[in-house]
A = this chain, B = another copy of it.
Amino acid sequence: MTVEGRTWAGTTLTDRRAMRRRQLLDAGLDLLGSGGSGAVSVRAVCRQSKLTERYFYENFADRDELILAVYEGVVHDAHRTLVEAVDTAGRGAEARAEAAVTAFVTLILDDPRKGRVLLLAPLADPALNRRGTERIPMFAELVREQLSDKVDEGDRAMTATALVGGLANLFTAYLGGSLDVSRERLIAHCVRLVLGANALHS
């Protein structure tokens, strides 16, 4: 059936498989990031990736599995970027917050498809809702660690929820161009939000 070692057009089978998977995921990201999950059909992904259904089903059991893989890939990338930025930054809360926000803004401006997927897909997509995928989960994490643990659990949950929603809405608006503000001011404002969150529990 399949022979591993054999080379084909200069590349090995494993390489070609990986490349096709990447092409499919990239096409999925394109579609999910532009037209929402409604635009992600098997045929559209195949058209976009210039591959055929054969390879689609070689890589994914069905449409939903691709969508989930695209989303989780983006989340994974973003998480890695954020963790790296925060670790590189100093130990102060402000420095850490600024590093995280800057990294995120850079990420979503660098590749707006990823931004849209991160910010909108888990809300908009049935395939992702069902899996209980959280909204920008890496930020929720970051935010929670920032919050004082001396306040009530419910208050902390509400503050974290509000903060994540606020940041997400800011990023979304900025990405959509409806926020006429420089990148630096956006970042500064987000940092103020994150740092100011504790002040709510008075």
- Chain A residues near B (Cβ < 8 Å): 35-36, 38, 120, 123-126, 135, 154-155, 157-159, 161-170, 172-173, 179-181, 185-186, 189, 192-193, 196, 199-200
A166 CB contacts on chain B under 8 angstroms? 161-163, 165-166, 169
With A35-B126, A126-B38: A179-B158 Cβ-Cβ less than 8 Å: yes
- Docked-complex contact A154 and B169, CB < 8 angstroms: no
A170 CB contacts on chain B under 8 angstroms? 158, 161-162, 165
Copies of the protein in its oligomer:
2
- Docked-complex contact A169 and B135, CB < 8 angstroms: yes
CA distance A135 to B124 in the complex (A): 14
In the complex, the 10 A-B pairs of residues with the closest C-beta atoms, listed nearest first: A165-B169, A162-B166, A124-B124, A166-B166, A165-B165, A154-B181, A165-B166, A158-B189, A161-B173, A162-B170
Shortest Cβ distance from residue A67 to the other chain B in the assembled complex, whole angstroms: 13
CA distance A125 to B126 in the complex (A): 12
Shortest Cβ distance from residue A102 to the other chain B in the assembled complex, whole angstroms: 16
Q: Known pairs A161-B169, A162-B166; list 9 more (Cβ under 8 Å).
A: A35-B126, A124-B125, A135-B169, A158-B189, A159-B189, A161-B173, A162-B169, A165-B165, A192-B200
A179 CB contacts on chain B under 8 angstroms? 157-158, 161
